[in-house]
Amino acid sequence: MQSISKKRRTCESNDGMEDRLSGLPDEVIVHILSFMPTLDAVRTMLIRQLRNLWTLVPALRFDFNEYYGRMADKPPSTHVAFSSFACFVRNVLLLYRRSTMDTFHLSIRNLGNISKDAKIIGDVRMWLRYAIEKEVRVLYFRYSAPFDPPRCIFTSQSLATLALLGCTIEHYVHQSQIHLGSLRKLSLIGVKGSTKSYDQLISGCPSLQELIVYFAATSGFEILNINAPSVSKLRICVLNIRCSCTLNCPSLKILDIGVSEKSPYFQLSVTGVISLQEVNVEYLPTRYYSGEVQPFFKLLQNAEVFTLSCKAFKELSNSSTEKMEFSLNTWRRIVLHLEWNGERCLEVIFKLMKKSVNLKELIIYAGESSGDDCELLCPELTACVLPLLKTVTIHGNHGYKKWCEGQLQVIEFLLTNGVVLEKLVITFGKNKLTTVEKVDLVKQVSTFRRASSNATVIFV
């Protein structure tokens, strides 16, 4: 690491008071400057006591849109604005004094028709190569048009985190062998390439632990195979595309799935996953227009923590009864974000509970309520045993006056079937209930039968 003088400077201001900032050790000041935008850090050179300490910051962040937005006099064209930005970047890199770099952030968007200008592309490639030569550990690169990153990025042995947004990986991936031996986290956001190029890049990261993939119709493929033996955390987001994804990640522990409503035919298959601990579903990966939702949940039935977003839960509650048959699972903690929309909502909750025989904790975030009263569901659906459930938290719907009947049925269901239940917490949140209405709710809940003599209901 670049050595920094430990000399403490003391300076007296005009009124005789001590300048506390100037009195700090150089290491502390450099650390503070590292959290500032590079443009602001450079401007501290105007402070005599700080001299050129900005040249020793471990992180450089360049954002063309931010730079353009802060220009006092807006130039007549984007090309002129970028020329000013490029001059600033070149001067910073020329004066930079650290031998190595922790973070290099380069974001260039909204260039319009000049994004393919040969000089601009040449400058950007030169800046990226500079960062790699400085053995940068964290590289974030965003470009507003198709762009082939320098070859050296894909052979760097210093990179621990790499985020690519909006560029392409097709060209260099097929021409040279990929090997990022130290890479731990890889983010590919809207990166254009083929199935083969994605596979080659991911396979070329033997130490990869976290992978984030956002892909859309512009990504250039409809099939994605993720073979990542060491990945423990994976996030997949699909936007406006019809495709399928196969996961072969034996070390996978956390899986986040986000699928837009415009991608109804995204198919997911999971193989070789033996240690899955947590699954977060933002939207169901497929509407299963020709099948059932059960196959999807069966893929994830061995996780310990299962989270459903409001959109995913709504999709479930809108499905036909035949498609809501779930397999037994090993989920120990379930988090549900939902809207109260009548009996269908209750039916999903009760069916999930009956198949979650290992459930120990349940958290429900109640969103908007339709205001419709729910009829009492059949005894066959509401009668079961929750043998391990100990803790329940229900966050009341926010901003609505009425505590809907469906929430009361869920509370009663849990108290009646939780044979070892210890604590049920009910939060009012931002409900517009009056004090009298809250008291009436407490009284009503107190009349529910409790299967566990140790069950305590707490209102917050």
| Count of CB atoms situated within 10 Å of the CB of 230 | 15
Give how far the C-alpha of residue 45 lies from the chain's centroid of Cα atoms, to the nearest Å: 37
Look at residue 21 in the predicted model and tell me its pLDDT: 65
**What pLDDT was estimated at residue 40?**
85
* CA pair distance 24, 30, nearest whole angstrom: 10
Burial letters 44-56, b for 16+ CB under 10 A, else e = beeeeebeebbbb
| pLDDT given at position 91 | 94
* 373 closest CA partner among 403, 404, 344, 332: 404
In tens, the pLDDT along 90-137 reads 999 999 999 999 999 999 988 888 888 899 999 999 999 999 999 999
Longest Cα–Cα distance of the chain, Å, equals 82
DSSP state of 305: E
Tokens 């690169």 belong to which residue? 141
DSSP notation for 47-110: STTTTTGGGG-SEEEEEHHHHHHT-SS--SSHHHHHHHHHHHHHHHHHH---SS-SEEEEEE--
Provide the 10 A C-beta neighbour count for residue 299.
20
Note the pLDDT of residue 321: 56
**Beta strands per DSSP E along 262-372:** 267-271, 278-281, 305-308, 333-340, 361-369
Please answer whether residues 402 and 371 qualify as being in contact, where contact means their C-beta atoms are separated by less than 8 angstroms: yes
Residue 264 to residue 415: CA distance in whole angstroms: 37
- Looking at residue 25, what is its pLDDT? 82
Which residues of the chain carry a pLDDT beneath 50?
1, 6-18, 288-291, 399-401
Tell me the backbone φ, ψ of residue 391, rounded to 5 degrees.
-130, 130
Residue with tokens 């800046």: 127
Question: In angstroms, rounded to a whole number, what is the distance separating the alpha carbons of residues 375 and 161?
Answer: 53
Residue 146's closest CA among 193, 106, 107? 193
Q: What is the pLDDT of residue 13?
A: 43
What is the amino acid identity at position 404?
Answer: C
Residue 316 has a pLDDT of 78
Contacts of 168 (CB under 8 A, 6+ apart): 146, 147, 148, 191, 192, 193
8 A C-beta contact, residue 413 and residue 376: no
CB count within 10 Å of CB 325 equals 12
Phi, psi dihedrals of residue 424, rounded to the nearest 5°: -125, 110
